[in-house]
Chains A and B, each alone.
Chain A
Amino acid sequence: MPTLELRDLHTDFDTRAGVLRAVDGVTLSVGRGEVLGLVGESGSGKSVTGFSIIGLIDPPGRLSSGSIRFQGRELVGLTERELRKLRGRHIAIIFQDPMMTLNPVLRIDTQMMEAIQAHERVSTAEARRRARDALGQVGIPSPDERLSAYPHQFSGGMRQRVAIAIALLHNPALIIADEPTTALDVTIQAQILAVVQKLASERGTSLLWITHDLSVVAGLADRIAVMYAGRIVESGSVDAVLDTPMHHYTRGLIGSVPSRNQRGHKLLQIPGMTPSPLNRPAGCAFRTRCPAADAVCETEPELTNPAPGRELRCFHPASNTAVAA
């Protein structure tokens, strides 16, 4: 049984200009101890997918249909009270900006102990000890002293580690990470990735890693799902998707990454830009930017299985070749 299973998830936002389909039929699963990289550009719906899982969608947004199963249990339709018991304890989330997680006017120890005692009846001394251990695990030097500091006394990278430490407090089965290293420098990013990688493999935590950065996912994830305009257009193992991308959007994304073999040469760019979610082309949403599009693409492509473990939403898959360097 996978840790997380989404089936045909739809999240809509009612706006004055009409219904905005941020997540438009997403189906995915994350196994135990598996790292799934959910990749997409701004506006693709990748963050909203993550937020939908733990019920962080506020009006005018709503989960209009679909199913979210966590360890076999249906989460859609749970009351706020039941969701609260899950959040933080069984499913944790790490945001891009750690200041979204941390309260600026409370000391780190207060916040961490509060998070522990919200789910478990433990003594204050015990909670404090666990908070200190968690800080140590994510590589914060002298955790005893740092416990009584305020968030503003930490650097950006340190704050993100505190946020990760809080996410790890209850040893959750699933961590949803929404661009957690995007705002950080490469050396700090590598430190954070090292911590996450170690913990995921040691504890069998499943990870849904949401990012726009293919290179990070390449080094971290087991599987990749590429999202475009609210839908998953291609998924599969990291090697399969990156080495032989079949969807033309995935190929364009890979071609857009500057890499060693192409110095000074023009990058294979994708023409145009992501369509507004209020005004998506009918059928395949990528067809206006796609080199292979024709009249067939005006109808909606179904999700197919071109190879074992791979899913694709395209009428004209690219042949099984690597993106030219």
Chain B
Amino acid sequence: MSDTPIIELEKVSKRFGQPNGALSRLLGAKPAPVVQAVSDVDLSIHTGEVVGLVGESGCGKSTLGRLVAGIMPASSGQVRWHGQNRSGLSAADEKSAKLGVQMIFQDPQSSLNPRLRVAEIVGEAPRVHGLIGPEGEDSYVDAQMRQAGLDPSLKRRYPHQFSGGQRQRIGIARALAVQPAMLVCDESVAALDVSIQAQIINLFLDLRTDLNLTCLFISHDLGVVEHVSDRVAIMYLGRIVEEASAEIVFSRPNHPYTQALLAEVPRLETRKSRFGAIKGELPSPLNPPTGCHFHPRCPHSFSRCSQEVPVLREIASGQRSACHLNDQA
């Protein structure tokens, strides 16, 4: 593992919705709601590492994935690619940085152009970016399809002629066709049946070893994340509340939210369990609670939790957590 992380986020935030301009304020318009989807996130990912990003719907994990992939600009903070601030790169470097991170989406149906044949879907980007010449395209596409576990003889077909698992493979072949150093997988196996999900997870594990891929694996499914990740970050309402190696997170979770989340995961081994339940639901990101975002649902909250935002800091070697309880011990 090299010292410079492949990608490094520093105090990255993303807000949606603009404050009103001077004119509408003058006319007495109501202030437009601003959603703080991601706030002050620090995260670094090293080459060859698989980082799992876990959270419930609406916690900002997909937005964070898009910021990492460079599809969306950050509202504030720095995203560094191989140590260099990505917004300050020259045009050529920026292009290579963007090609370096590719995304695989949840729904292969809506992320593939229904009117293009597989050969075109997979071959278009490498051709446009000059990775392959016109004479090499055929064999290149064949190789990419084979790598993703697809039969190259199907390349004249359209996406609708494939099953869900195969479509996800097309998405993977498309992402890998530009030879990225890193993948952002946003709920890439969530929509698949269990047996097909296992096939795709196995494909990820193979590709990771074969290509030394770095990966940000976003999912709400803790079982899947536990299986594929080296390191895991837990997100709650726009903030990372805990981050540590997969072993530590799943054996010694520190943050009350992580603990609660892990307790709720149904497992094959737990029979006739008493389902407990975290109280309440995820608050609206339009109007997040003060202080620690988790305090209204937290069984251990005390007065400080509603006043002061806890900082994500190292509590043990390789384990970071954002909870005031750690200051008391």
Is B278 an interface position by the 8 A CB rule?
yes
Which chain B residues (81-113) contact chain A, with CB distance < 8 Å? none
Known contacts A158-B281, A194-B277, A269 near B193 by CB under 8 Å:
no
**Contact string against A for B residues 48-72, beta-carbon threshold 8 Å, 1 for contact and 0 otherwise:** 0000000011000000000000000
Chain A residues bordering chain B, tally (CB within 8 A): 46
Which chain A residues (161-194) contact chain B, with CB distance < 8 Å? 185-191, 193-194
- CB atoms of B269 and A259 under 8 A apart: yes
- CB atoms of B220 and A186 under 8 A apart: yes
- CB atoms of B195 and A186 under 8 A apart: no
- CB atoms of A268 and B198 under 8 A apart: yes
Residue of A nearest to B55 (CB): A185
Q: How far is the CB of A80 from chain B (nearest CB, A)?
A: 34
- CB atoms of A191 and B202 under 8 A apart: no
Whole-angstrom distance between the alpha carbons of A223 and B240 in the complex?
40
**Contact string against A for B residues 151-186, beta-carbon threshold 8 Å, 1 for contact and 0 otherwise:** 000000000000101000000000000000000000
- CB atoms of B224 and A215 under 8 A apart: no
- CB atoms of B165 and A267 under 8 A apart: no
Which chain B residues (259-280) contact chain A, with CB distance < 8 Å? 260-261, 264-278
Residue of A nearest to B265 (CB): A186
Chain B residues with Cβ below 8 Å from A252 are 195
- CB atoms of B223 and A257 under 8 A apart: yes
Residue of A nearest to B280 (CB): A141
Q: How far is the CB of B167 from chain A (nearest CB, A)?
A: 12
Known contacts A190-B277, A256-B197, A273 near B165 by CB under 8 Å:
yes
Which single member of B199, B223, B277 contacts A259 (CB below 8 Å)? Answer: B223
Is B228 an interface position by the 8 A CB rule?
yes
Is A262 an interface position by the 8 A CB rule?
yes
Whole-angstrom distance between the alpha carbons of A42 and B276 in the complex?
29
Chain A residues with Cβ below 8 Å from B268 are 214-215, 218, 242, 254, 257, 259
- CB atoms of A218 and B195 under 8 A apart: no
Which single member of A185, A219, A266, A274 contacts B56 (CB below 8 Å)? Answer: A185
Residue of B nearest to A267 (CB): B198
Chain A residues with Cβ below 8 Å from B266 are 189-190, 193, 213, 215-216, 218-219
Is B201 an interface position by the 8 A CB rule?
yes
Is A317 an interface position by the 8 A CB rule?
no
Q: How far is the CB of A154 from chain B (nearest CB, A)?
A: 10
Is B250 an interface position by the 8 A CB rule?
yes
- CB atoms of B281 and A255 under 8 A apart: no
Which chain A residues (117-132) contact chain B, with CB distance < 8 Å? none
Chain A residues with Cβ below 8 Å from B271 are 218-219, 238-239, 242
Whole-angstrom distance between the alpha carbons of A273 and B57 in the complex?
29
Chain B residues bordering chain A, tally (CB within 8 A): 43
Chain B residues with Cβ below 8 Å from A194 are 274-277
**Contact string against A for B residues 190-221, beta-carbon threshold 8 Å, 1 for contact and 0 otherwise:** 00011111110110011000000000000010
Is A319 an interface position by the 8 A CB rule?
no
Whole-angstrom distance between the alpha carbons of A161 and B227 in the complex?
31
Name the residue among A189, A190, A253 with the largest chain B CB count within 10 angstroms: A190
**Contact string against B for A residues 240-266, beta-carbon threshold 8 Å, 1 for contact and 0 otherwise:** 001000000000111111111011111
Name the residue among B194, B261, B277 with the largest chain A CB count within 10 angstroms: B194
Is B246 an interface position by the 8 A CB rule?
yes
- CB atoms of A190 and B194 under 8 A apart: no
Q: How far is the CB of B156 from chain A (nearest CB, A)?
A: 21
Whole-angstrom distance between the alpha carbons of A186 and B190 in the complex?
13
Q: How far is the CB of B14 from chain A (nearest CB, A)?
A: 21
Residue of B nearest to A255 (CB): B198
Residue of A nearest to B251 (CB): A260
Is B222 an interface position by the 8 A CB rule?
yes
Residue of B nearest to A271 (CB): B199
Whole-angstrom distance between the alpha carbons of A185 and B280 in the complex?
12
- CB atoms of B227 and A262 under 8 A apart: yes
Whole-angstrom distance between the alpha carbons of A270 and B222 in the complex?
22
Which single member of A155, A188, A238, A258 contacts B201 (CB below 8 Å)? Answer: A258
Chain B residues with Cβ below 8 Å from A215 are 223, 265-268
Known contacts A187-B264, A267-B201, then 16 further A-B pairs from the complex at CB < 8 Å, ordered by chain A residue: A186-B222, A186-B265, A187-B56, A187-B261, A190-B266, A190-B277, A190-B278, A191-B278, A212-B194, A213-B194, A215-B268, A219-B275, A220-B272, A264-B228, A267-B227, A269-B199
A-B contact pairs, 12 of them (CB 8 A): A185-B220, A188-B56, A191-B277, A194-B277, A254-B268, A256-B194, A259-B269, A263-B227, A265-B205, A267-B198, A269-B199, A273-B196
- Closest 6 pairs (CB-CB, A-B): A258-B227, A256-B198, A190-B264, A194-B275, A215-B266, A185-B56
